Structure 1
Amino acid sequence: MGLVAEFEIHCEALPLTGVAADVSEATLILELQFNHGNRPLFLVTARGGPQRDLEHALSAAHDVERWTFIGQAEDTRRYQIRPALSFEEQLGDEIDELTGLKALATAEAIIERIEVRDYGWNQTGWFASRNAFTDFSHFWQHNASFQLRRLTQDGETEPPGEGLTDRQHEALRTAYELGYFDIPRRTSLEDVATELDLSASSVSERLRRAQTQLIEETVAPTWPPLST
């Protein structure tokens, strides 16, 4: 079964981050149109922010060869942009593995949303398998900074933690509110057990299972496999 991931790539060398920095009040959604040779056209949907400021930023951007205003509906504007640089030229000084960058273009994945920010790209993507996602995330962990925001199986809409049972939710919340996870701890496992009217061993097992579930849903998919 495939995965749906929302994540941030922190790399200021990514295309159009300078434009996003210059017009921080605007939301810039980027689509890549790959049917125009080696350099895909950029299709940008801009919402909010002064139109004049955005277009001035596009004209001044070092990674924009030329841009064309396509149309507008209320405060949403559409642009077609021809990049001045290939991805290899744009990221060459920042990325250690250019061959790996090329491989991402053929990954078993569909990136359906890219929001350009001043620090990089926020993305949502569909991945055919956990291995496909792992390869993708490991590349950006090694070459830039990768922060996972949400990871679910396709067909699911729940945020992380929805795989927990009601009892696991209750145990985590009670332990948290009583200060069991504070440093230093403000309460003991026995106190949490008393609050839940359970034995300490039952609460310990329930907390471990809940923590394992949260790790498997969030950070574990981004970890490289242990060498054997």
Structure 2
Amino acid sequence: MTVTAELLVSSPSLPFVSFAESLPSNQLECVHGLCLGGDSQVFVVHLDPADGVTEDDLIALDEVVETTSLGRESGRDVYQLGVKLDDIVSEAFVPGQFAKAQIEPTIIVPEGWYEKKVVRDYDSFNNMRNHCDEHGIRVDLISITQDSPSPDEHSQYGLTDRQYEALALAISRGYYDNPRQATAGDLAEEMGISQPSMSNLLRRGERQLLTSTIGTQPSLTNPST
């Protein structure tokens, strides 16, 4: 099973956020390898020519230590940049937090970085988000979807695919936490179903898990003996 998450990553320490705010378009696109290695210092940025950014403008940025023009692609100016990262960024983006590198280019806007990542499972996403939070980097979830799970992951409990998906999402979003971090309505919205349907999926899934682990008629010990 893998999970695809769309995120907004925000921190004043992230490269190019202030720069994006200064552009007429208020955004730029980049590709980086931070999820493969926190010390990655090479960024490839794609800029709208209408923003009027020159190589001198880029090298003048505090975080840029080297620039190389790569020409123009798809109507945008492309530069390879050597970037000096703050320590918290290097420490937050460490190998192992993501199963794969970014699957789409990062869109940098004044609010932060919009990214789309593939993680191993919901727990991996939560671990990644908590790890970033510990380093002062906020990760806001925009959307999250799960691939079709392997039958081996839930067939032993007799769960259907949708029951498994609903329960996994509920756990990842804190539905079973105390205090509860999400409602059935919140989960239903993410899965694109009604709240009653979501509640029904959870209830049936919970019953199936209980039945598969303790049976339909568990033996009871007489408290008087």
TM-score normalised over the length of structure 2 = 0.58
Instruction: Give the corresponding residue for 1:81.
Output: 81
Instruction: Give the corresponding residue for 1:49.
Output: 50
% identical aligned pairs: 17
Task: State the distance in 2 between where 1:161 and 1:6 align.
Answer: 15
Is the Cα–Cα contact under 8 Å of residues 11 and 145 in structure 1 kept in the other structure? Answer: yes
Instruction: Give the corresponding residue for 1:107.
Output: 97
For residue 105 of structure 1, give the secondary structure of its aligned residue in structure 2: coil
Query: Is the alpha carbon distance of 1:119 and 1:108 closer, same or farther for their aligned partners in structure 2, counting shifts above 3 Å?
Result: closer
Instruction: Give the corresponding residue for 1:124.
Output: 116
Task: State the distance in 1 between where 2:44 and 2:199 align.
Answer: 45
Task: State the distance in 2 between where 1:37 and 1:9 align.
Answer: 15
Partner amino acid, structure 1, of 2:80: Q
1:140 to partner: Cα distance: 2.8
**Number of aligned residue pairs:** 161
Instruction: Give the corresponding residue for 2:191.
Output: 163
Cα deviation digits, residues 142-190 of structure 1 (max 9, x gap): 423221100001369xxx737354xx3xxx6xxxxxxxxxxxxxxxxxx
Task: State the distance in 1 between where 2:55 and 2:20 align.
Answer: 11
Task: State the distance in 2 between where 1:161 and 1:66 align.
Answer: 45
Task: State the distance in 2 between where 1:33 and 1:144 align.
Answer: 17
Instruction: Give the corresponding residue for 2:125.
Output: 133
Query: Is the alpha carbon distance of 1:123 and 1:164 closer, same or farther for their aligned partners in structure 2, counting shifts above 3 Å?
Result: closer
Query: Is the alpha carbon distance of 1:146 and 1:15 closer, same or farther for their aligned partners in structure 2, counting shifts above 3 Å?
Result: same
TM-score normalised over the length of structure 1 = 0.58
Cα deviation digits, residues 60-101 of structure 1 (max 9, x gap): 210001211111145312110011x2441xx3xxx7xx75x2
1:10 to partner: Cα distance: 1.6
Uncovered stretches (5+) of structure 1, i.e. residues with no partner: 173-205, 214-228
1:36 to partner: Cα distance: 11
